A and B are shown apart, each in its own frame.
Chain A
Amino acid sequence: MSNSAMMLRRREALRVLAACMADWWLPRQLFAQRTSAARPRDRRVIVVTFGGGVRYEDTLAREGWVNIPHLASDIVPQGLVYPAARHEGLTGHFNSTGALVTGTRQNVDAYGSEPPVTPTIFEMFRKERGLPPEEAWLIATNKSFGLMGGSRLRSFGDPYSANVVLPKQMLISTVKAAVSTNAGPGVEDRRALAERMMVALDEGYEGFGWRVYESNRVLSADVKASLAKSLLAYFNDPASPTSGDELTFFMAKEIMNRFAPSLLVVNFWDIDIAHYGAYSLYLEAIRRTDRLVHELWQHVQASPQYRDRTTLLVVPEMGRDSDVAGNGFANHRSGDESCRRVWLVAVGAGVPKGAGTERPIRTLDVAPTVADMLGFKMVECEGKALAELT
């Protein structure tokens, strides 16, 4: 890119920020500065989704900033924001996240009985770079996401898929077991729940929809030790967290600590409580997700294996219905623009600081962007790598 083109881009970014964002978002520097990017082989990418979907008006629009204070005041000023991102395709959970991790619209069974039909970033990354399973992880929530780690293609699939763990599914099973009998302690006894989950780990996590692949490093023993540690951290946390996303967060941290995967996708999910129809609970979940994203980014900064070589991409899985044209925040089935309008925030290695561009992008562009960052190519991909990040 020529210098003049870069200057224009920076000016454009500043204009967009001035127009779209609050004054307190504006960077102190006159021009955005791109941070140095590690070479692809040292590079790490973490993609965090606001799973369940959030509406633009409840998050990145001015009236929504109150719900994403950490993103708005801490992360966006350090990174680059695309306020005009769009999700195309079906507005169900599996297909929208499937589009994110493949760069191609997916039209498979909405409830996870089928894997994506085109290769995922996990498979392309591992196959092209000849990497072991612990290099690519998906930490998700919805049980249907068990097949999200790899496609159905014969030349890809299991040998190259991501490790998929669904921490909340284990929590659900444990809580259900606790309340299914009148004998023994119930959900009020955190220690007992933790012990039940430890036992569940030993008895086999495949029953929770997980897919963890073994490599030469006897991964399963490592995984069990790692997950057990995260469970203890979760149950012993002074704040007594009870949400599935908190457990997802603890497991993500522990997997980062132990395996330092180069590619990690974290799908937070509490936001989908919007289906209960309680707006306050939906907003509360957005705020929790915002906090967990910030804590994850702080963890990146504190980790020698991730600091200065990691790019974090934060993007809603999709939107949710508008009030007027759709069915409101509780649903995402109308397919209206509110269901599709999202945003993307990037921060970290190789990302211009304090920048933004109103250029429309698609969530389909995430996969090829990740591929570019990690030095591999996406085939059969509808999306285009985001030039500002590559």
Chain B
Amino acid sequence: MQFTSPLTGAAATLARQYGETLARLPATVHAFILVELAKWPLLFAPEQRYQRALLEHLSRTPPHELEQAVAGIARIEAESGVARLSEHDPARFQDASQALLRTRGLFVGWRGEVDAFFQTIDPSLEAALYPADAPRRLVVQIYGSGIGVQRDRLWKPFKGMGVRVPLDLEGAGTTEGFLRQLAGEVEAGRGAPALFTRTIDSPLDGWIVESDAALHAVYGAATPAALTGLSYSRLRPYRDDLTRALYHKVQDGVDSPQAFAAYARSLRIVPPAGTLLNPADILLAFVRDVLITGNGTLLVNNTFVEWAAIQALRRAQPRILITRFGVRDKLKPFSSMVLFSQPRPTDHVPIAQDPAGSFIDVEQLSYYIWLNAEKNPAYRSRTLYLFLAEDVDEMLAIRSDAPAAAPRRATAARLADVRATMARWLDAPAVQGSGQPIAEVIG
């Protein structure tokens, strides 16, 4: 299949350099790579590295081996008629081929073959991209104040894992106080607490993702920010604009979900100035994708936090990620029936919070963030996960290199000790402050 793809810059160079290799691939894989390359300026560095490594690996694979490795995909393409499609635009070819595979009942089989193909090559790519001595990483998940935590069920999905550490929360009576004690004050002139500034090389390497704006207020107030931050509440004007545009489209009529998705992708609405800590183009595209492609991310605060965090882990692979969940509002009567509409001023149904439901939600969502991180070779075996709830004097710590359950620590640790533990884990002793690393976590 000859594709015509309007690539520029590094992507065009790669496509030319590896043109022969690409031509040997089944059309669906070829198109997939070209579609990824077309997004080049909006790919995060780890994504670009992956594409380079993939092409390099495929080019080094002897032709007969490559042919064998993709034989299953090629067979289904031939059987389905995908190989005979005449569409030359890679993105449109992708849509057409998937529709054809579905119509012919071959989509599941094709997908299995594609998965099998990447499973054979990913170990080699991972070894190259994520060496064993790569820096350690940190993921902190915080349940915000007001969530109806049930102590006896807290972090139940992680039963049998990690170490529970009792906490002494003296002096951390408010959210602000809690967060300040946990990660420290913003360093003068550096735009973020030292925990970040001494451990990351760029704002894209340290992310805060939250339901409300507490993390932003405490860790990312300075401009230009040293961090990447996404806040569901700060994004409200942007969410409202997107919602309005989508609702109008729904009212005008939509042919199919694909057409709706294409319309959503075509929207050129951007968040108002000051909404994002780091308003780089790549993040404007990222947040739009999170809000448009994530189920419920436009509508439910904690779903936004989870999906944004998972996408950040998968795509940007930050060294430090801190999430903070909040209390979800109860759905208003009939609200699920007017998905993208906004309530009229005259519909005076008061907003009510759902602390109990929020707890059930965030238990599952924080687990999904952990699961997705551990699926990712960038995090597997080199990440410390900390789980905290602002109103709870206990923490769960899981080291991905030693996840098995350990006895609960006997004595309470201070939040300053937690900070020192994070600093030690990230090999930034200067950040420790007055705390002492927790031996049960650090070893």
A residues bordering B, Cβ < 8 Å? Answer: 89-90, 105, 107-108, 110-111, 113, 168, 171-172, 175-176, 179-182, 186-188, 240, 242, 244, 273, 275-281, 283-284, 323-324, 328-331, 335
Contact = CB atoms under 8 A, between A and B. Distances in A.
Interface stretch (B101-109, B118-126, B196-204, B410-418): B101-109
Contacts of A175: 334, 337-338
Interface of B: 102-105, 107-108, 111, 251, 256-257, 294-297, 299-300, 302-303, 306-307, 328, 331-334, 336-338, 341, 343-349, 354, 356-358, 360-361, 363-365, 367-368, 371
Contact of B361 (A188, A273, A275, A280): A280
A111 B341 contact: no
A113 B349 CA distance: 36
Contacts, number: 114
Contacts of B345: 182
A26 B108 CA distance: 39
B346 A186 contact: yes
17 contacts: A90-B105, A111-B256, A175-B337, A179-B347, A181-B344, A186-B344, A187-B343, A188-B347, A275-B295, A277-B296, A277-B303, A277-B307, A277-B361, A278-B328, A284-B357, A328-B368, A330-B296
B302 A277 contact: yes
A176 B342 CA distance: 10
Contacts of A179: 338, 341, 343-344, 347
A276 B347 contact: no
Contacts of B356: 280
Interface centre among B341, B346, B349 (most CB of A within 10 A): B346
Contact of A329 (B302, B347, B358, B364): B364
Nearest to A92: B102
A113 B333 CA distance: 30
Contacts of A244: 336-337
Contact of A90 (B107, B294, B332): B107
Nearest to A285: B336
A171 B256 contact: no
Contacts of B300: 276-278
Contacts of B344: 179, 181-182, 186
Given A175-B337, A280-B354, A110 B299 contact: no
Contacts of B347: 179, 186-188
Contact of B371 (A279, A324, A335): A324
A273 B336 contact: yes
Nearest to B104: A107
B239 to A, nearest CB: 14
A273 B331 CA distance: 11
A143 B364 CA distance: 30
A351 to B, nearest CB: 33
Contacts of A328: 364, 368
Contacts of B334: 171, 175, 187, 242
Which 6 residue pairs spanning A and B have beta carbons closest together?
A277-B303, A276-B296, A280-B357, A280-B360, A186-B347, A242-B333
B365 A277 contact: yes
Contact of A276 (B105, B303, B360, B368): B303
Given A90-B108, A179-B341, A278 B357 contact: yes
Contact of B365 (A168, A242, A279): A279
A172 B338 contact: yes
Contacts of B307: 277
Given A107-B104, A168-B337, A278 B348 contact: no
A171 B337 contact: yes
B357 A281 contact: yes
Given A277-B302, A278-B296, A331-B295, A107 B105 contact: yes
A208 to B, nearest CB: 12
A323 B367 contact: yes
A277 B297 contact: yes
Contact of B346 (A111, A180, A182): A182
Contacts of B102: 90, 107, 110
Contacts of B336: 244, 273, 276
Nearest to A242: B333
Contacts of A279: 360-361, 363-365
A108 B102 CA distance: 8
A111 to B, nearest CB: 5
Given A89-B108, A111-B256, 17 more contacts: A105-B105, A107-B105, A176-B341, A179-B343, A186-B347, A187-B347, A187-B349, A244-B336, A244-B337, A276-B300, A277-B296, A277-B302, A279-B361, A281-B361, A328-B364, A328-B368, A330-B296
A277 B341 contact: no
Nearest to B332: A187
A2 B363 CA distance: 52
Contacts of A284: 357
A201 to B, nearest CB: 17
B214 to A, nearest CB: 21
A284 B302 CA distance: 17
A380 B316 CA distance: 50
Given A279-B360, A283-B360, A335 B105 contact: no
A187 B333 contact: yes
A323 B370 CA distance: 11
A350 B27 CA distance: 54
A181 B346 CA distance: 10
A244 B347 CA distance: 20
A276 B358 CA distance: 13
Given A90-B107, A242-B334, A278 B349 contact: no
A330 B367 CA distance: 13
A168 B348 CA distance: 23
B128 to A, nearest CB: 26
A278 B300 CA distance: 8
Contacts of B365: 277, 279
A275 B296 contact: yes
Contacts of A273: 336
Contacts of B297: 277
B364 A111 contact: no
A65 B368 CA distance: 23
Contacts of A283: 360
A147 to B, nearest CB: 14
Contact of A277 (B111, B256, B306, B343): B306
Interface centre among A276, A284, A329 (most CB of B within 10 A): A276
B295 A276 contact: yes
B35 to A, nearest CB: 19
A283 B357 CA distance: 10
Contacts of B354: 280
A136 to B, nearest CB: 27
A140 B363 CA distance: 32
Contacts of A335: 108, 111
Contacts of B299: 276
B68 to A, nearest CB: 25
B364 A172 contact: no
A283 B228 CA distance: 34
A278 B334 CA distance: 16
B300 to A, nearest CB: 5
